[in-house]
Structure 1
Amino acid sequence: MAPYNLKLLISLMLLWTRTYRAEFQHKNLACQLVIMKLYEEYEYIQEGDIMIGGVLTVNSYVRLLEHPEDNSIRMLCMEIVPEHYRQFIDFHYFIEQTNNNRAFFPNLTLGYHIYDSCGDPRKAVRSVLQILSGTREPVPNYSCVGKRNIAGFIGDLTSETTVPIAQILTLYGYSQISYGATDPLLRDRAAFPYFFRTVQSDHHHCYLLTELLKHFGWTWVGVIRFDDDAGDREFQLLTKYFSNYGICIEFSIKINIYNIQSREHIINKHKEQFQKSTTSVIVLCGTVSAAVIVEFSLLKDVLKEKTLVLATSWAAKHIMNFATDLVNGSLGFMQRSLYELNSPELKAFLASIHPSKYPKDKLLEDLWMQYHLCSSSNEYKNKLFKYLYPQSSLYNCTGEERIQDIWNIANALHSPRVHLAVTLLSQAMYKMHMSLSKLSPKLDNIIYDYRYQKPRAQCSANCPTGFRKASKPGTHSCCYGCAQCSEGEISNVTDSESCIRCPDMEWPNEQRNQCIARTEEFLSYTNDVISIFLPSLSVVLYLCTVLILAIFIKYRDSPIVRANNRSLSFLLLVSIKLSFLSVFLFLGRPVDITCMLRIITFGITFSIAVSSLLAKTIMVCVAFKATKPGSSWRKWLGVKLSNSVVLFCSSIQIIICMTWLAISPPFQELDIHTSPGTIIIQCNEGSAIGFYSVIGYMGLLAAVSFVLAFLARSLPDSFNEAKYITFSMLLFCSVWITMIPAYLSTKGKNTVCVEIFAILTSSAGLLASIFLPKCYIILYRPEMNTRTFVFANKI
């Protein structure tokens, strides 16, 4: 149970204000000597590979005392606040959890060096310099502990202590994260480039407060501000925001909590003003403290009729519990908790906090004295406590006292702002550590070596890795420039005289200080969109061909299928189907066998397809000649002529392909010269004559078929295919004539894409031109698919 009640707190605040005004003229010399013997820094050090500096506010204020022996001025921290000590617990808990979790920093440990600023700017500045110097007496611009890896600072709670800290750390280039400073001045990135915070600035708070008042339609309010820098600053900002958004201030009252002489007169004056006011909403500005709550408690009989709008600093303060009746029903902003306050791990850690476990923790001992009334082993502390709190008596504790029983340690309004600050700083260090580790293991030491450097005596700067020395004509040999290594070369040492060429299968990285494996390039099944699109299109066209073949088989005895040699139609459909499937030979990593099969397969299947069309065209011409009476062409009618044409023309292509394979077949080729840093895995045709012979013969068949079909396009017949063959051959020739220059001008997988596109386009053109009109008649115009229609239209 807390030793304080409201009456005791009031008497303590009165005592504090009187002693603060006469801080150099203490009346009780004996007590002053006791205090000076107790003078000690609230310092916490846990060594680690990476150190985090911390300046936290745990005690409420500082009392300045003059040493009776040497007349030096000393600062004595007073009044430890439980919720502020809880922030230190959060700091300690995060460091311990991080060091126990080896996945975060596997080979490193985090440590800290923390001082209590006691809410005083002078003490805060001293604490920062002590951390940087590593000594009890600060030595600016010098570190007495050699290699000390201070990565950044956490702190402080108030703007009054944070601003001077930020000014010092900006000079030294250290990052700083405050967990409570709201001064808008700290938003200036030019003045404070390394400063960050886990709370909103006063500008943002004033904006939110204005939005709150607008939401409820409160445009007529009163303002109470306290006579300190924060109160004046917030009032100026509020006035600006209120005027911009049409909110008027009925009255503003400035309360001076240190003015004791006219206290009763001022309180009565304020009460009278509150009673006369017509607004029911009052906005509070300034820093909350025990003294402020004391002042407010004297006004609670008139303020309880008003609705108070509190700042963020008020809503999160345990000190509001002193005046629950006064603030009950008020509105305020709270910072949301970002981690679980009631986790089992945190509860267990909090329960383990005890003076017996941490005997050197001076703050913890003070906390036990003030809130459990436990006597100290230090008699000077006991005497000081008796002097400061004569109403309370210390006794020997049993050791069963718990920190959870101390008022406001486990407050539901507790916001883990220090925990968030340490988390952010640690994550930044982790990302920096990982980035440097990826660049080079040697660069990893940069994050840990902060010693401000040895004198320099060089004509030229060292050439880093990836560069070589370049001599300057007419200068000393010690004076040189740095030239980046040429393409394909690296240097992996500083001040390299020359660069090293990477092996054929490797290539320099971006920094040109390491050889890495070249990137392999080929048209795989999953590399990019086109690798998925082309095989998908091939499968769709293959299925369409199968469907058309099924239709023709079903209607194989119909006149339209029989009229133009159905065996040739079936053969043509099968060859088109195989050409669609041949696309898959062009996908994936090329090897010798696929390089041979891909060219041979599409060459033979297309030759069969074009030979079938040539045979169809010849049969149309023969059929027309045979219709004349007494014509000798009748003996050529039948399947023997068409089969002979297909067999003869296809055999020539087969002979060409076999000769090509026998003399100089295609093979896998690794191209390391076309694209820097890339191995293009492709097929080499082996014999260019063989490749162009296959393409040329296929073009010859198409040209002959086109000429014959063009000449026979107007022959009278009900199902004359000549005009469709003419169009299909025109499309076929156009595709392959266009393919040749495109094939020659591309490299790597783009060449394969050109081949696949030519195969799909020409095959789809044959399928659509020859068979879609017949399918249309079979499925949608059955009256045309009759013998009567056939003979009725013959001439």
Structure 2
Amino acid sequence: MIGGVVSVFSFTDYKKPPADLLCFNPLIYHYKNLLALFYAVDEINKYPWILPNMTLGYHIYDSCADPRKAVKSIIQILSGPGYAVPNYSCTKNKVVGFIGDHFSSTTFPIAQLLGIYPYTQISYGATDVLFNDRDLFPSVFRTLPDDYTTYLIISYFLSLFGWTLVGILAPEDDNGDKEIRTLTNFLTDREICVDFALKSSRENFKDGIERSSRKIKKSSAQIIVICGPLSFALSPIKNPDMENYFKNFHLLKNPKDLIYKELVMRFFGCSSGIEKSDKTYEELYKTSLSKCDGTEPLGDYLLLFSQVNTLQMYLAVQYLAAALHNMDVSQGYQSTDQIHRNRHKVHKYIEDLVCPDESGTERECFTERGDKESGYIINNPIIFGTKIVSWNRVGSYNLTFIDDADFWVHAHDIVWKNAKNETPRSQCSESCLPGQKKVTSSSIHMCCYDCALCSEGEISNKSDSKNCMKCPEDSWPNENGTFCVLKEMEYLSYAEDILSIAFSCLSSFFCILTILIFVLFYYKRDTPIVRANNKNLSFVLLVSIMLSFLCVFLFLGRPVDITCMLRQISAGILFSVSISSLLAKTIMVCIAFKATKPGSVWRTWTGVKLPNSVLLICSSVQVVLCMSWVTLSPPFQELDTHSYKEKTVVQCNEGSDLWFYSVLGYMGILAAISFIIAFLVRTLPDSFNEAKYITFSMLVFCSVWIAMIPAYLSTKGKYMVAVEIFAILTSSAGLLGCIFVTKCYIILFKPELNTRKHLLELKNTVLHH
């Protein structure tokens, strides 16, 4: 036999209940739970393979949702027929387990009383988290999740719509205080503030709202958490047979069902046949009752109400029966007396029950806490006038995996109770737009805030962001600060940069000019002006200058590792060759002058060996430095994301500043030595003023590079490269102009000066001086 405690009647619906009635006014949605128990027991007894050697019965009392009445009902069931005797259990009453109750407030005293006796209890509605304590309630189970799960879903749902300031309306009892505290904690975790918490009777929340209307109107909260405007319910388990059972349920099939008669009296105005009940109803509601034929379709009303707790009642009976069956089979089909004596083992078999989930995978029916995990559905009541005419499913939440991804809501399907059917707004601050973030304000509520623009280099891509996100190094916020855009790549581009075009044209022009001069010198290589000061050095100088102009192209375009390595070492080596050539020329001017004196030992140094050696040795030192640089710490391409906010500089990292300045310093030493020697011999008489031209060329070269260094260090990005290119072009053009322009002029326009006769006259003039 199953002991059952259900909540069907109420104490508080009538304003002035008759003194001789303890419990009255049946609630149809609770009566539906009672019918589910009847249906489940009948179904179990119908199948011979479940508990084959016994028939399952029940002994049911109504708790009337009152703890005192619940305790009295349990004592009555334990006492058996007759008077209820506290602390007494009738051994003839073969109760092996209890179902119920619906409310946590009545389930508590039932569980405490049954804890004295080894009875298993399965509730179909109690959700208080205290039942999770298996030390206090080792044999209490529930066919639905606990309150924490509901609070978790509510808090997530509110945050989903951006409702950060809400009110709470709770029952006017101890449980209501606990619900307010617990729900507030969950809401606080989601940064949702509770502006007010009001309490009202369970039976009439509407009156509670009306009594507190002034406080509610003063609040900026537009959402009140009751179990609406939306409702959360467990995902229903389809049972078409039970639905048909409700649909076809009428009085002719249950002529002795007094509760049914009273419900028909209330819904259809039919006489119950009980004179006292009829008279009380007519006096209270100022109406008269008529006699009905017993075919009134109460089932239509039963199907209007949610199936959730009804199915939980059905599952509770099924689970208890399954546990009894498993225990019966495992112990060899015992008698009812034996099963009754082993009732303390039932909860172990319930813990071992397995149920298939939505995917068909078998899992334990009950969690370690004694409750049953289940999916939730979110219903939207469609209200016409003052009545709910239908429930629209607008979302669900899967509790198998507690994750935000398992929560979905079709917001566009929700019918809101306002004129424009707009989603209500319940915040104490305006939403922060994308590109802004929340900052703490001076309000008493933590969810009240001000909005501030994201800091430089940060974005927020959604409303009401708590923090801004920093853009990657290669990106920068757009104008509104809502998303990151790739920074513009800055370098001397051939296609887009006017500087690159100008440098390309200049480099090409001077390169062609140098080639023409080289060709001219080659064809006039036997003339005095070309032979006067070592024509081979002149050819080497022209080639190095020409390559210097060409190496400008290594500095243009997007740099890569190979161009980064070639640009510096090529410029360093070529300019070292050029300066070494001029140094060799300068030394030869000095030696040539000294060799003109009779019996001078300098005559032995007037050949080509000395200048060639100077050129080779001085150039080789720079080559060794450059090769060591490339080998030990080569330059490479890098992206500079810090110099500019909105663009990335594609540049060359020199690899090692020591090697870079060593190469540059050596070139400067060569230039300084060449300039000093050329300056000292500038007044020495020689053919075609070669020493003076070398002095001028080195003056230009040194001036350009000395001016370049501070300009190079004070700029960044592509303009740093532009400064170096300008220095290369200017110094190369200075060498070309100072050394070769006057010679070209004589060759082309004063050929009479480019003769052996004129050269002899110059020498005589020198000797005369």
Pairwise TM-score range, normalised by the shorter structure: 0.3 to 0.5
Q: TM-score, normalised to structure 1's length?
A: 0.42
TM-score (norm 2): 0.44
